[in-house]
Structure 1
């Protein structure tokens, strides 16, 4: 009888506790709607293997502003342009920092990088360094020749492939990595990708993809701190191993540069600037340490290579599936540039259809389908709902760009929607138009947006101008697999295997 009484009291206490918790969510502190959380793990099981898909489906039921409980963490999800604008514009300062997470701790040098650093003086210093020395209009113009030279090397590798099929994504990754490395380090880090592939390049791309996959994992330890030490999914162990590999790669680069064996450049490279800043106090944030330099290099290599190459791979896949669009783009290229030389960055402003193709690729295949998480410094109100202090914010960039309330036939690849007479002729992707924000928006918008735009546009323009494309093994373009492999970045589930057929005179490929 005593045991039964104890059980009864325990049940009543649990019920009262449950009711009190739920009463707290009612007006005036009414949380946004969302699915009922499970005990302990909350809504983690609702995320599935492709969270941006799962969250988009949940938004159809609960609305564009949702509240989830992931373990013991409050999470709010924005799945419409208007809701995203409230978070990233109206309440931008309140959501300017990142929540604690194992990726930042174990991979990104324990928050000493730019991407995960808390909002404050150190973050502003790192962003200022990148904005002035790497991504300013002058810096981009100074290194225009580097990007064009690397893209020209890529075209010659593709011509040299003869009648062989190539793994386009791998070659694109080599190109973007070498272009960025020459700016950052003053030298290339890989071969050109010909001759059966570069093992170092293969390993580097695998490392970057593994980092994006691990960073995109919803690690249980991040949401249930008491379980962090158990590492139930083995994510922390994988992150530590990957960090060791990246750290070895970056240590080699740093030591070579300090010893003067890093190669020569006509311009001062970013790493030389960072090393110079290491010993000079800056009024806004102090000195730079070796760890901060490596953390910044890690950010730039990861964010500036795979995102661009995967976006270009998606664009070419879409054009292969839509041959009439490829033909139209080639006609524009022949009219503006001709067939006697390779397209340059100076030609890009005149290529309006090409720009529309790139915008449509960013819309349908954003490189970061779920924005990097942010955390609320204070409680606030959005759409009449209470957003608690310490809430994690996720913006479903992928779902917003496919919202049928904002886009006609949103699942169709239709570049003309961005041209005069189309449905969104004035919409851009630089963070001011929230219908399509592949680079994010607000204070934590991607610092490399200008470089990313130039690199993607130049690569797509060059591949459109210089080749006709056939799929490996005579595959029908309509049967091309367009499935996604989820990670922090949106990779193709199957790499694009293609046969490039040169469409210019041989001398044109030597024109740069």
Structure 2
């Protein structure tokens, strides 16, 4: 296709303008920014990270210093890559960096309300207090030891049945996924096998889709005008479907717990799951309205979902 000289000149001028606009120096009245490698218009440094971003970041830091500014699409990002810089960010000035950027997948899957993704503020502080004191304390983690031991015994039994005499092949990946799902469900939702009606394969797929999507970085987070690519790739539809299924599951579990409590069937401390603990926190806050903090169902679902994943780190 033939391109007129005027159109080519206009295109070059536009690209040059965008390039120099992204590299303009701050005026005297503005704070100086950290050094930044040359980037591309609109996309910034995103295309430069490559398939091994940790190595690329190391090379950039060796050239530009331990603190540098990258522009990931429209998102300015300061990279601290030395122990001294990390201490400044995580200890000396931790309050200035305590908040979290909004992430589309987190908003969809965990309601944007969990401590790991919520912005810093009073709600975040109260959620952190509850998680540290009630959900992830050493006592609470130790209380799941019996469940972990039982799930390990079940997994070993499945290996023996799948490979009698040790002569057959065993799909260890599937067995480990089943084991981790068992730990998640028992720690978060209880020992009564509430997911049996859904079937093991359906539950496994739901958890797998949830974990995969929660770790997915969408293009729209960094380059909003390319957000349609996420929809084209099916991410939006998959996130909506997974979120709806997980939400329905949690709604059913919370309703079941509340019904058992109304019937007087409360679990003793050694068998209380995350939902029981969160409902206990709300009951205590209701009794002491002046000093307690209530969590609505959305906050309970968000906290339980992400804390369930953290249980696996202690398995």
TM-score bracket for this pair, using the shorter chain length: 0.7 to 0.9
- Provide the rounded CA distance (Å) in 2 between the counterparts of 1:74 and 1:23: 15
- Provide the rounded CA distance (Å) in 1 between the counterparts of 2:22 and 2:223: 22
Equivalence for 2:123: 122
- Provide the rounded CA distance (Å) in 2 between the counterparts of 1:39 and 1:257: 53
- Provide the rounded CA distance (Å) in 1 between the counterparts of 2:22 and 2:214: 40
- Provide the rounded CA distance (Å) in 1 between the counterparts of 2:89 and 2:42: 28
Contact 1:44 1:70 in 2 (8 A): yes
Residue 49 of structure 1 and its aligned partner are, at CA, apart by 4.3
Of 153, 174, 178, 1:170 maps to 174
Is 1:246 aligned with 2:246? Answer: yes
TM-score, normalising length: structure 2: 0.76
Contact 2:19 2:40 in 1 (8 A): no
- Provide the rounded CA distance (Å) in 2 between the counterparts of 1:168 and 1:53: 32
Change over 3 Å in CA distance of 1:157–1:64 after alignment to 2: farther
- Provide the rounded CA distance (Å) in 2 between the counterparts of 1:178 and 1:119: 32
Change over 3 Å in CA distance of 1:147–1:79 after alignment to 2: same
- For each residue in 1:250-278, what CA deviation from the matched residue of structure 2 results, as whole angstroms up to 9, or x when unmatched? 22322332333999665333212322434
5+ unaligned residues in a row in structure 1: which ranges? 192-196, 309-451, 456-512
Change over 3 Å in CA distance of 1:16–1:103 after alignment to 2: closer
- Provide the rounded CA distance (Å) in 1 between the counterparts of 2:175 and 2:68: 40
Contact 1:67 1:76 in 2 (8 A): yes
Change over 3 Å in CA distance of 1:47–1:246 after alignment to 2: farther
Residue 40 of structure 1 and its aligned partner are, at CA, apart by 1.3
Of 182, 185, 202, 2:186 maps to 182
Change over 3 Å in CA distance of 1:160–1:84 after alignment to 2: farther
Equivalence for 2:301: 294
Of 196, 202, 205, 1:203 maps to 205
Is 1:86 aligned with 2:88? Answer: yes
Counting only pairs closer than 5 Å after superposition, residues 63-462 of structure 1 correspond to structure 2 as 63-109=65-111, 111-162=112-163, 163-187=167-191, 188=193, 198-214=200-216, 217=217, 219-225=218-224, 227=225, 230-234=227-231, 235-260=235-260, 267-278=271-282, 280-281=285-286, 286-305=293-312, 308=313, 452=314, 455=315
5+ unaligned residues in a row in structure 2: which ranges? 1-5
TM-score, normalising length: structure 1: 0.49
Residue 297 of structure 1 and its aligned partner are, at CA, apart by 1.8
Contact 2:135 2:277 in 1 (8 A): no
- Provide the rounded CA distance (Å) in 1 between the counterparts of 2:32 and 2:102: 25
Change over 3 Å in CA distance of 1:269–1:107 after alignment to 2: closer
Contact 1:147 1:179 in 2 (8 A): yes
Greater fraction of residues in helix: 2
How many pairs align?
290
- For each residue in 1:424-465, what CA deviation from the matched residue of structure 2 results, as whole angstroms up to 9, or x when unmatched? xxxxxxxxxxxxxxxxxxxxxxxxxxxx2xx2xxxxxxxxxx
Other structure's SS at 1:199 match: helix
Other structure's SS at 1:97 match: coil
Two-structure CA RMSD over aligned residues (Å): 3.7
Change over 3 Å in CA distance of 1:25–1:86 after alignment to 2: farther
